[in-house]
Amino acid sequence: MIIGLTGGIATGKTTASLILSQQGIPVIDADIIAREVVMPGKEAYQKIVSYFGSQIINSDHTLNRTLLGEIIFNDVKKREKLNAIVHPAVRMEMKNQAKHHLDAGQNPVIMDIPLLFESKLTHMVDVTWLIYASPDIQLKRLMERDDFTEKQALSRIHSQLPIDEKKELSDIVIVNNGTKKELEEKLTLQIQNLRKQIL
């Protein structure tokens, strides 16, 4: 059983991932893998360098993410090319890691995918879990966490698919409007229910 875990900015998905991982459940993090697949020596790295040229390489041979970001920010075609290199590599690595955990008898496995719905990756998972916080709590948390003005926080929130839309698309919605302890209790309960179904 592969659980696709997602959320919105400041809804608590990262905290949920950490809690599940501390409970001994394997968590495959899409963001971490996206950084790993573009390390020197990896196939995606070679493809990026051959397309964008050696000017995007730092002195330690890693990719200059700032420069690459500037290039693709201003050029849709180049952004699409970068995504066409990185995304399949990330998906392949996530599938390989999930298979490894499942073959080792670990069940369930979590795939932590921030853009699960936006990137249409639900086909990679058996069930989708959304860490949900109501929009007003999302806004308050983001302003406190990143020291944003309301305007700054709202612009970040509005750049994502609205959390209430994600709610409609999710199999399981875990409301995280309270404390970390409450979130932990809800996650534990969901995992217990899931394990009963698996058995």
Domains and CATH numbers, the chain: 1-26+107-199 (3.40.50.300), 31-105 (3.40.50.300)
Q: What is the pTM of this model?
A: 0.87
Residue labelled with tokens 């409450």: 182
Dist. CA 189–CA 49, nearest whole Å: 46
- Give me the pLDDT at residue 159, please: 84
pLDDT per residue as tens, the chain (199 positions): 999 999 999 999 999 999 999 999 999 999 999 999 999 999 999 999 999 999 999 999 999 988 998 888 888 899 899 999 999 999 999 999 999 999 999 989 999 999 899 889 999 999 999 999 999 999 999 999 999 999 999 988 888 889 999 999 999 999 999 999 999 999 999 999 988 887 6
**Cα–Cα distance list, 11 to 91, 102, 159 (Å):** 24, 28, 15
Beta sheet of 127-132, edge-to-edge order: 27-29, 109-112, 2-7, 127-132, 172-175
Q: Residue 158: its pLDDT value, please?
A: 87
Q: What is the pLDDT of residue 111?
A: 97
What's the CA gap between 155 and 163, in Å, rounded?
14
pLDDT given for residue 117 in this prediction: 93
Q: What is the pLDDT of residue 198?
A: 72
